[in-house]
Amino acid sequence: MGRDVAAAPAPREAARVRNVALVGHAGAGKTTLAEALLAATGAVPRAGRVEDGTTCLDSDEVEVRQQRSVTLGVATVEHDGTRITLLDTPGSPDFVGELRAGLRAADSALFVVSAVGGVDATTVQLWEECAAVGMPRAVVVTQLDRARADVEETVRLCQTLLGDGVYPVHLVDRGPDGAVQGVVNLLQPGAQAPDADRLRGELIEGIIGESEDEALMERYLAGDELVQGDLISDLETAVARAHFHPVLCAAPLQGIGLDALLYLLVNAFPCPFEHGCPPVTRPDGSPAPALACDPDGPLVAEVVKTTTDPYLGRVSLLRVFSGTLTPDTPVHVSGHGGADRGHPDHDADERVGAISSPLGAALRPVPACPAGDVCAVTRLASAETGDTLSSPGDPRLVPPWTLPVPQHPVAVEAASRADEDRLGPALTRLAAEDPTLRVERSRDTGQLLLWCVGEAHGEVLLERLRTRHGVAVTTVPVRVPMVETLAGPARATGRLVKQSGGHGQYAVVVVEAEPGEPGSGISFEQRVVGGAVPNQYHGSVEKGIRAQCAKGIEGDRPLVDVRFVLVDGKAHSVDSSDAAFQSAGALAVRELAAAAGTRVLEPWCEVAVVVPGEHVGAVMSDLSSRRARVTGSDADPERDRTTVRAEVPEIELLGYAGALRSVSHGTGSFTRRPLGHEPAPASLLVPA
């Protein structure tokens, strides 16, 4: 990083801990705000700039080059005796896995909204996602000083689009020339700003509506002048209940609003006690007692991020929910629930190394990490993102957070033999770091596929292979496996008659075949009369037929859904053998294909696309352009989401993740499952 950093804050009791995720769309200014807070608290001597590649939180080489966050950045600072861990999440939908990891480690979410860009559909979707899990939320409007900034309109959009409970706490204080010179705090009486009295009244009524302090309500109704100190504890209660959402203002580059923001982070945001702990089970799935944020309780922590350091090896970022983690502690590492993404269930006993407090890439040693806090540990060889750490004598398991199903395949090949040797271990490390990545060797085509969330996700993974792991790969077109079936019924003879010195090879089989029902596979039966083909060779004929069908007639298109019947043949008492009848069966398949002709089939998928109602028309139009058959839709008015169901050729889904993101403005998602095969159009019938 090349900058001096302050020593790590000492561990604190959970009441003096705040874990805050910075959430918002790309370009809203999350990292810039975080850097300003690091400088304001003295954690770094000065704030870095995204444009210069000098930020503390964007330390990944890809982030520096692209000037945007692609991983979860974490920094712990101290202000007014309170440890504040800022979790800077990426704004791109391709890295939603990093966002959800940050939310698991946090006790509240601070939505960063640009006064220029306003509230977009992605922000609304993220807001709803946090609401669904009961995450306390607040909003900070940034970029106040930029051209075309409209703070008042942005606050109005927040109230309109984010729903009930959104109240401005700060207004912008402008000088005679209109320049931003500070913020007006509505928690203080006598605030001077247009409409301040009305907004202050609405704010106080909103706070009191969530309060349990009846005396405060009586004072307000009696006309007492309430000051910030009277309201702050009730404001914290209101925010912690996730029904009240204050809107703050800040101009990070000018240092405007930072003190007020830090004051509210410390005094009005929930601590780990108030947010609670996730449910736990035993690793075998049996029930376990509920957790409490107790430093003396049983040890339970979760790996929210995994990185690989060239000197330290694997570094695991942990959120400790219960107990206290100290250096050299023996732990049980348990990872379950990721087998469908290529992460088999695993359990191992290990011992943690040093414990550190993160400040971007810098790791500052701390003596312990008690319940409610976030730390980084080294030397956990088997731990992956999403794994649970607990006591070996009393292992527990925290269910993994919900992750997007990667739907964008990237086919890769090693650039050289040396790269091929390194590719497997490198992909294993990438998969341990990133649970949204699924690595697969296609059973049908043999291609090595990286299943990614989107194109940007794939580009970052390829760049990390090259720069971090020194592995050069090339990308190749993803092949969709085509198959063939017979075009009609036929009868053919497979004949193998070879004579040479010694034993020859002799086998003749007569086979009838017809297309089967879609999905029926290859079936075989025999109706040989009079022992024309001895019983011991019936299995040999079937074996040869199945082997030829799996290989295909030409190229790599298997023959599927055909019913074969062995009806006649000839054998020789000396020259017939198992191998000869296998060959004759294979020859019969080729003769049948020549006689009946074949039809090429392509795979189809059943797709469920979930989008806001306003984008349903665009989604259906795009699906129609992909030869899809829309089979129905279900609306969920409460969530303003519609699920569109369709049947789509698999080849048309190769670029669909990006296309859906475009037509839905980043708010759509989809899942798929194999449906079967149907005849392919002539335009796809290229030589195999």
- Indicate the domain borders of the chain: 14-194+243-275, 300-390, 408-476, 483-596, 600-684
Q: Which two tokens stand for residue 636?
A: 């969920």
Residue 108 in this model has a pLDDT that exceeds 90: yes
672 contacts 607 by C-beta, under 8 angstroms: yes
Q: Residue 178: which region, alpha, beta or left (left: phi > 0; alpha: psi -120 to 50)?
A: left
User: So what's the pLDDT on residue 550?
Assistant: 93
List the CATH code of the domain at 408-476.
Answer: 3.30.70.870
Mean pLDDT of 590-610: 96
Residue 2 in this model has a pLDDT that exceeds 50: no
275 contacts 107 by C-beta, under 8 angstroms: yes
Q: How far apart are CA 415 and CA 101, in angstroms?
A: 33
**Count of alpha carbons within 13 Å of 568, Cβ hemisphere only?**
5
Q: What is the pairing mode between strands 598-612 and 562-570?
A: unpaired
Mean pLDDT of 657-675: 92
14-194+243-275 CATH, one of 1.10.3720.10, 3.40.50.300, 3.40.30.10, 3.40.50.450: 3.40.50.300
Q: How far apart are CA 251 and CA 249, in angstroms?
A: 7
Q: Residue 272: which region, alpha, beta or left (left: phi > 0; alpha: psi -120 to 50)?
A: alpha
Classify the C-alpha dihedral 556-560-562-564 as positive or negative: positive
Angle at 303 between CA 402 and CA 263, to 5 degrees: 90
Mean pLDDT of 128-141: 92
Q: Residue 214: which region, alpha, beta or left (left: phi > 0; alpha: psi -120 to 50)?
A: alpha
Q: How far apart are CA 58 and CA 68, in angstroms?
A: 8
Rounded to the nearest 10 degrees, the angle between the axes of helix 455-467 and helix 417-433 is 120
Which position has the token pair 């944020």? Answer: 293
Which position has the token pair 């729903």? Answer: 163
Q: How far apart are CA 269 and CA 272, in angstroms?
A: 10
Model pLDDT for residues 469-513, shown as the tens digit of each residue: 999 999 999 999 999 999 999 999 999 998 766 678 999 999 999
SS3 20: strand
Q: Which residues pair with 605 in a beta bridge?
A: 648, 674
Model pLDDT for residues 346-369, shown as the tens digit of each residue: 999 999 999 999 999 899 999 999
Mean pLDDT of 607-628: 95
449 contacts 407 by C-beta, under 8 angstroms: no
Q: pLDDT-derived band of residue 465, with 50, 70 and 90 as boundaries?
A: very high
User: So what's the pLDDT on residue 3?
Assistant: 56
Q: How far apart are CA 431 and CA 449, in angstroms?
A: 13
φ and ψ at residue 352, rounded to 5 degrees:
-70, 155
User: So what's the pLDDT on residue 688?
Assistant: 45
Neighbours of 579 (CB within 10 A): 13
Mean pLDDT of 176-182: 86
Residue 57 in this model has a pLDDT that exceeds 80: yes
Look at residues 401, 375, 367, 399 and name the one whose alpha carbon lies nearest to residue 315: 375
Q: Residues in the chain, how many? A: 688
Class of domain 300-390: mainly beta
Q: How far apart are CA 490 and CA 665, in angstroms?
A: 53
Mean pLDDT of 391-406: 92
SS3 269: coil
List the CATH code of the domain at 600-684.
Answer: 3.30.70.240
User: So what's the pLDDT on residue 687?
Assistant: 52
User: So what's the pLDDT on residue 637?
Assistant: 84
SS3 652: helix
Model pLDDT for residues 247-282, shown as the tens digit of each residue: 999 999 999 999 999 999 999 999 999 988 999 999
Look at residues 154, 178, 182 and name the one whose alpha carbon lies nearest to residue 168: 154
Helices and strands (H and E) in the chain: how many = 16, 32
Angle at 310 between CA 303 and CA 1, to 5 degrees: 85
User: So what's the pLDDT on residue 1?
Assistant: 41
Look at residues 542, 530, 599 and name the one whose alpha carbon lies nearest to residue 569: 530
Q: Which two tokens stand for residue 145?
A: 């000083």
Q: What is the mean pLDDT of the chain?
A: 91
User: So what's the pLDDT on residue 686?
Assistant: 59
Share above pLDDT 70 across residues of the chain, in percent, rounded to a whole number: 99
Burial class from Cβ neighbours inside 10 Å (0-12, 13-18, 19+) for residue 184 reads buried
List the CATH code of the domain at 483-596.
Answer: 3.30.230.10
Model pLDDT for residues 187-199, shown as the tens digit of each residue: 888 777 778 888 9
User: So what's the pLDDT on residue 502?
Assistant: 66
Burial class from Cβ neighbours inside 10 Å (0-12, 13-18, 19+) for residue 681 reads exposed
Q: What is the pairing mode between strands 245-249 and 166-168?
A: parallel
Classify the C-alpha dihedral 288-101-402-654 as positive or negative: negative
Q: Which two tokens stand for residue 139?
A: 């909003």
166 contacts 244 by C-beta, under 8 angstroms: no
584 contacts 538 by C-beta, under 8 angstroms: no
Q: Which two tokens stand for residue 306?
A: 């995994």
Model pLDDT for residues 542-552, shown as the tens digit of each residue: 999 999 999 99
User: So what's the pLDDT on residue 80?
Assistant: 95
Residue 62 in this model has a pLDDT that exceeds 90: no
Q: Do domains 408-476 and 483-596 have the same CATH topology?
A: no
Q: Which two tokens stand for residue 515?
A: 């297309």
Q: How far apart are CA 391 and CA 325, in angstroms?
A: 10
SS3 327: coil
